[in-house]
Amino acid sequence: MASRLKVLSVIAVSTLGLTACASQSDVDQLRTEVNALRADVNSMQQEVQASRDSSMRAAEAAERAAAAAESSNRMFNRSLRK
């Protein structure tokens, strides 16, 4: 998406440079496209954050499971010594 925004920026600057000014419809169209790109970026950022949160929860659960397994193993070893 960032590359798409860059391409649109280059096109917009080129267009403005060639015509010396943009029509209102050109400006409106670019504004609409930029807003759509911003929405896409925001959506992607939310997806990335959700993925990070999910990964953190999974890592925490794995740590708890490892600690529980270690505790269970210690208890089992103690019971063998008796």
Which tens digit of pLDDT belongs to each residue from 27-43? 888 889 989 999 999 99
**Backbone φ, ψ for residue 6 (5° rounding):** -65, -45
Q: Kindly state the tokens that stand for 49.
A: 């954050």
Q: Kindly state the tokens that stand for 45.
A: 């950022």
Gap between the Cα atoms of 50 and 76, Å rounded:
39
**Domain map of the chain by residue range?**
2-12+23-81
* CA 82 to chain CA centroid, nearest Å: 54
pTM for this model (two decimals): 0.56
* CA 73 to chain CA centroid, nearest Å: 39
User: Which residues of the chain are under the pLDDT cut of 50?
Assistant: none
The whole-number pLDDT of residue 27 equals 82
Gap between the Cα atoms of 77 and 66, Å rounded:
16
